[in-house]
């Protein structure tokens, strides 16, 4: 089945490969992301997971929530661990020792594991062309260790290592354009996705598994604890991020950018684009921006989002 | 037996690469570093020429080399890597992971000093720094031993009573870049000796007995979060596995002797009968030391030596058995444990004799750091010193530096 033909009806019937009973927080975006990703698998699959919330909370010995073979090795090496799995499978197949025609390999990493400490390993694995799907579940900070900033934390977000203080209004640096960096690796498939749009997400996962060679899917995973919002609003945050173009949905197959879903609709009908304020004001991590002295910072964020959105439209040849 | 293979002129690195070619592991993931480079270059050539079907992963770092080996071994493949010095230090985190996930990876260490200052020559600081990582450690005296260890390592690592990774160590440049005659086995003998990798059964979380390997039909979780309620027990299992490894190393060494004519154990005594003083050490220096022992024996001096082959697991009982009649022991260390009473080997040997009712005098000699030469006359001086200690009946200076400008 190709990525395009997946239907929610079929997917709803499929047994969850990430079982309930794990200990991720109520309303955890990462849990929803992982469950959806696993729903979109297509056959024998092996999962490798970097250290982080997803790993720690799903495999507390002697329990595990994974109904697939699963390995955690370290924080920064999930891409190289997955490289070894893929190479091992290839060699076993060649030697006639593999009982499967093909086994998909999925690597999960958080933003810390991806933007920062594990970046080199991913770059290496992609340059070598391993046939793996790398899923970045991006909750925009090191949540497992207590909400510290990462290269994926957005500008002016308050974290425990970029706290909004009397003179410094949260993180001063921009979020690293990680997915565009992955496109620049000239891998066959890169996409962004949001759990607010599950079918779009699962189609992209399926496409990522189908292509030969590395695929990278960047999925926003709102974290009620780190972003400071009520757990019932996880999907709303994921939706607002897309509707404000803070986190547009796109895919790039062989380097060719294409908007998908709501983001495509917004490109056609710019009036649909919501102001970033609607997204920011719902989250405690941006609370300090809504004071008279800091108001201009919200405008600055709007400007950055607009610029990046316009750049993306150009990449999609829509402007 | 042992006459069927070819005798080849090989450097230590080439001997390792040649053995690995005959083993033909499923995956080799490695990153170049002097003086290991020849190993990965040769293996790459074998792959490029279609001589072996191994998947060669030219990783971007040693951290990734070991990580890829972990992934490959977890999926049931045989995985090999080689490194030295900074490369091994860079792997540190993943060494523990490989051992604790009970993955039978094999690694060649071409011993080299650690930075700073940067130095490409031999000492044992790199592998000694990894002695507590849960890996089996075998030290080789010459290229022949390196070749033989590169074959035996798999059988030791994969033994169901062991399931621990093995690093075998050969001295940088002294062995890695020096041509020697190496007796090789025929390819088919190597393949037959190693056999197929087998998997122990574990109880999966779905309650079934399944092979300990990542297999979609029989899902298991490897490397979970393991807190105060079970972690300790898992460490205890590693202690047991290390203990078991002693017997397995000996059994495998004996079995290897049957096909090669070269039998191996945990250690190698040399002219220890009736020896009054002896040195204990490991690596290539023991080759030089044997020549010195021969010379001194010719002169009627009662000297001998004990070469340690397996440093982990450490053969305490066997060491005592070999040395119980010796009055003074000089332990040679080619690395330091800063702030400790002596080098790593010294600490082991001294501790081994603690419960022995007649404790010998034991003195420590640190030599050869950063590739400093250890010629026969320096070893001769050590024997002189040991005899002096014997006369005096006590050790005045516990730790001495050999061949050092003070
Ligand atoms: C080498 C190393 N450094 C630091 C840590 C501590 N650590 C564990 S998880 C983590 C943060 C994970 O962040 P991310 O990848 O964003 O995943 P999240 O927990 O947010 O899901 C850190 C810093 C570690 N385990 N290993
Ligand atoms: S801290 Fe955030 S990412 Fe971690 S489990 Fe809780 S909600 Fe999920
Ligand atoms: Mg995170």
For atom 4 of ligand 1, the residue with the nearest CA is A75
- Of B298, B319, B300, nearest in space to B308 by CA: B319
What number of other Cβ atoms are within 10 A of residue B129's Cβ? 18
Q: How far is A248 from chain B (nearest CA, A)?
A: 32
Q: What is the overall mean pLDDT for chain A?
A: 97
Domain count, chain A: 1
Q: Do A66 and B219 touch (CB under 8 A)?
A: yes
Task: Let me know: does A255 contact A191? Beta carbons within 8 Å.
Answer: no
pLDDT per position in chain B (406 positions), as tens?
Answer: 445 789 999 999 999 999 999 999 999 999 999 999 999 999 999 999 999 999 999 999 999 999 999 999 999 999 999 999 999 999 999 999 999 999 999 999 999 999 999 999 999 999 999 999 999 999 999 999 999 999 999 999 999 999 999 999 999 999 999 999 999 999 999 999 999 999 999 999 889 999 999 999 999 999 999 999 999 999 999 999 999 999 999 999 999 999 999 999 999 999 999 999 999 999 999 999 999 999 999 999 999 999 999 999 999 999 999 999 999 999 999 999 999 999 999 999 999 999 999 999 999 999 999 999 999 999 999 999 999 999 999 999 999 999 999 8
Task: Let me know: does A218 contact A176? Beta carbons within 8 Å.
Answer: no
Q: Do B77 and A92 touch (CB under 8 A)?
A: yes
- What does the alpha-carbon distance between residue A121 and residue A80 come to, in Å, rounded to a whole number? 6
- What does the alpha-carbon distance between residue A190 and residue A179 come to, in Å, rounded to a whole number? 7
- What does the alpha-carbon distance between residue A209 and residue A107 come to, in Å, rounded to a whole number? 11
Quick check: is A243 in a domain? yes
Output the pLDDT for position A2. Answer: 58
Quick check: is A2 in a domain? no
Q: Which of B69, B93, B230 sits opposite A74 (nearest CB)?
A: B93
Pocket test for ligand 2, best of A22, A30, A56 (most atoms within 8 A of CB): A30
Which numbered ligand comes closest to the C-alpha of A25? 2
Task: Let me know: does B157 contact B149? Beta carbons within 8 Å.
Answer: no
SS3 at position B155: helix
Quick check: is A134 in a domain? yes
CATH assignment of the domain containing A72: 3.40.50.970
Backbone CA torsion sign across A282, A288, A289, A295: positive
Quick check: is A1 in a domain? no
- What does the alpha-carbon distance between residue B240 and residue B220 come to, in Å, rounded to a whole number? 23
Quick check: is A3 in a domain? no
Output the pLDDT for position A318. Answer: 86
Task: Let me know: does B106 contact A116? Beta carbons within 8 Å.
Answer: no
Is any ligand 2 atom within 6 A of the Cβ of residue A170? no
Q: Which two tokens stand for residue B395?
A: 């050790």
Q: Do A77 and B223 touch (CB under 8 A)?
A: no
Strand partners, B9: B181
Which numbered ligand comes closest to the C-alpha of A157? 3
- What does the alpha-carbon distance between residue A44 and residue A92 come to, in Å, rounded to a whole number? 15
Quick check: is A37 in a domain? yes
For atom 2 of ligand 1, the residue with the nearest CA is A75
Q: How far is B340 from chain A (nearest CA, A)?
A: 31
Query: What is the predicted ipTM?
Result: 0.97
A16 touches chain B (CB under 8 A): no
Question: In B, which residues are within 8 Å of A134 by CB distance?
Answer: none
Q: Which of A81, A120, A124 sits opposite B71 (nearest CB)?
A: A81
- The phi-psi region of residue A129 (left if phi > 0; otherwise alpha if psi is between -120 and 50; otherwise beta) is left
Domain interval for residue A141: 8-318
Task: Let me know: does B141 contact B174? Beta carbons within 8 Å.
Answer: no
Which numbered ligand comes closest to the C-alpha of A29? 2
Q: Which two tokens stand for residue A257?
A: 């950018």
Q: Where are the alpha helices (DSSP H) in A246-292?
A: 261-268, 276-280
Residue B141 CA to ligand 1 center (angstroms) comes to: 42
- Counting as low any pLDDT under 50, the low residues of chain A are 1
The DSSP annotation for B284-308 comes to THHHHHHHHHHHHHHTT--EEEEEE
Question: In B, which residues are within 8 Å of A50 by CB distance?
Answer: none
Strand partners, B154: none
**Residue A84: closest CA among chain B residues belongs to which residue?**
B68
Residue B216 CA to ligand 2 center (angstroms) comes to: 28
Instruction: Return the number of CB contacts < 8 Å for A and B.
Output: 174
Output the pLDDT for position A3. Answer: 63
Question: In B, which residues are within 8 Å of A81 by CB distance?
Answer: 67-68, 70-71
Closest atom, ligand 2, to C-alpha of A23: 5
Spell out the residues 6+ positions from residue A45 whose beta carbon is closer than 8 angstroms to its own. Answer: A17, A38, A68, A103, A104, A105, A106, B216
CA distances from residue A97 to A47, A88, B81, B197 in whole angstroms, order as listed: 20, 11, 22, 11
Quick check: is A187 in a domain? yes
- What does the alpha-carbon distance between residue B379 and residue B216 come to, in Å, rounded to a whole number? 57
- What does the alpha-carbon distance between residue A130 and residue A216 come to, in Å, rounded to a whole number? 12
- Of B72, B223, B95, B110, nearest in space to B166 by CA: B95
- What does the alpha-carbon distance between residue A259 and residue A311 come to, in Å, rounded to a whole number? 12
Q: Which domains does chain B have, with CATH numbers?
A: 7-199+240-260 (3.40.50.970), 267-401 (3.40.50.920)
Q: Which of A60, A76, A125 sits opposite B225 (nearest CB)?
A: A60
């Amino acid at each position: 089945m190709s990525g395009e033909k997946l239907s929610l009806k079929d997917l709803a019937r499929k047994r969850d490969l990430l079982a309930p009973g794990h200990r991720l927080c109520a309303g955890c975006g990462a849990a929803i992301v992982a469950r959806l990703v696993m729903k979109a698998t297509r056959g024998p699959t092996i999962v490798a997971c970097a250290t982080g919330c997803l790993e720690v909370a799903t495999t507390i010995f002697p329990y595990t929530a994974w109904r697939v073979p699963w390995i955690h090795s370290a924080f920064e090496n999930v891409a190289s661990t997955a490289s070894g799995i893929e190479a091992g499978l290839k060699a076993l197949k060649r030697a006639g020792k593999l009982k499967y025609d093909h086994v998909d390999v999925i690597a999960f990493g958080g933003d810390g594991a991806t933007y920062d400490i594990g970046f080199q390993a991913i770059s290496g694995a992609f340059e070598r062309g391993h046939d793996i799907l790398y899923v970045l579940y991006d909750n925009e900070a090191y949540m497992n260790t207590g909400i510290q900033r990462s290269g994926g934390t957005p500008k002016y977000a308050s974290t425990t290592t970029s706290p909004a203080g009397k003179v410094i209004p949260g993180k001063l640096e921009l979020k690293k354009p990680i997915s565009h960096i992955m496109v620049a690796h000239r891998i066959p498939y890169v996409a962004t996705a949001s759990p607010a749009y599950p079918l779009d997400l699962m189609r992209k996962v399926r496409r990522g598994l189908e292509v030969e060679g590395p695929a990278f899917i960047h999925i926003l995973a709102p974290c009620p604890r780190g972003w400071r919002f009520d757990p019932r609003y996880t999907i709303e945050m994921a939706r607002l991020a897309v509707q404000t173009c803070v986190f547009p949905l796109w895919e790039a197959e062989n380097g060719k950018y294409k908007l998908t879903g709501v983001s495509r609709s917004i490109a056609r009908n710019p009036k649909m684009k919501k102001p970033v304020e609607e997204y920011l004001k719902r989250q405690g991590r941006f609370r300090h921006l809504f004071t008279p002295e800091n108001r201009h910072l919200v405008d600055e964020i709007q400007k950055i989002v607009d610029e990046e959105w316009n750049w993306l439209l150009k990449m999609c040849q829509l402007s | 037996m042992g006459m069927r293979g070819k005798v080849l002129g090989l450097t230590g690195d080439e001997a390792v690469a040649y053995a690995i070619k005959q083993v033909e592991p499923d995956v080799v993931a490695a990153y170049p570093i002097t003086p290991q480079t020849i190993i990965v270059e040769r293996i790459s050539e074998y792959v490029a020429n279609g001589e072996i079907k191994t998947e060669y992963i030219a990783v971007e770092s040693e951290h990734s080399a070991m990580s890829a080996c972990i992934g490959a071994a977890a999926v049931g493949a045989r995985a090999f890597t080689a490194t030295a010095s900074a490369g091994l230090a860079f792997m540190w985190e993943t060494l523990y992971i490989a051992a604790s996930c009970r993955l039978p990876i094999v690694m060649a260490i071409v011993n080299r000093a650690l930075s700073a200052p940067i130095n490409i020559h031999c000492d044992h600081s790199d592998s000694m720094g990894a002695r507590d990582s849960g890996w089996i450690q075998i030290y080789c005296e010459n290229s022949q031993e390196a070749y033989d260890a590169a074959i035996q390592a798999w059988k030791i690592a994969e033994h169901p009573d062991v399931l621990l990774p093995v690093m075998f160590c050969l001295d940088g440049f002294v062995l890695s870049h020096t041509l020697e005659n190496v007796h090789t086995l025929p390819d088919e003998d190597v393949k037959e000796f190693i056999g197929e990798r087998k998997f122990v059964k574990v109880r999966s979380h779905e309650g079934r007995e399944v092979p300990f390997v990542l297999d979609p039909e029989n899902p298991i979780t490897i490397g979970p979060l393991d807190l105060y309620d079970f972690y300790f027990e898992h460490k205890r299992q590693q202690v047991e596995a290390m203990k078991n490894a002693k017997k397995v190393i000996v059994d495998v060494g004996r079995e290897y002797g049957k096909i090669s004519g070269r039998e191996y154990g945990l250690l190698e005594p040399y002219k220890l009968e009736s020896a009054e003083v002896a040195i204990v050490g490991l690596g290539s220096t023991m080759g030089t030391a044997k020549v010195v022992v021969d010379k001194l024996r010719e002169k009627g001096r009662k000297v001998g030596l004990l070469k340690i082959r397996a440093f982990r697991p450490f053969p305490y009982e066997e060491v005592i058995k070999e040395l119980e009649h010796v009055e003074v022991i000089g332990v040679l260390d080619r690395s330091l444990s800063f702030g400790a009473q002596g080098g790593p080997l010294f600490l082991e040997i001294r501790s081994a004799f603690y419960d022995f009712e007649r404790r010998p005098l034991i003195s420590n000699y640190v030599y050869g750091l950063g590739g400093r030469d250890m010629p026969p006359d320096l070893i001769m001086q050590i024997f002189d010193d040991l005899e002096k200690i014997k006369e005096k009946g006590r050790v005045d200076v516990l730790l001495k530096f050999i061949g050092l400008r003070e």
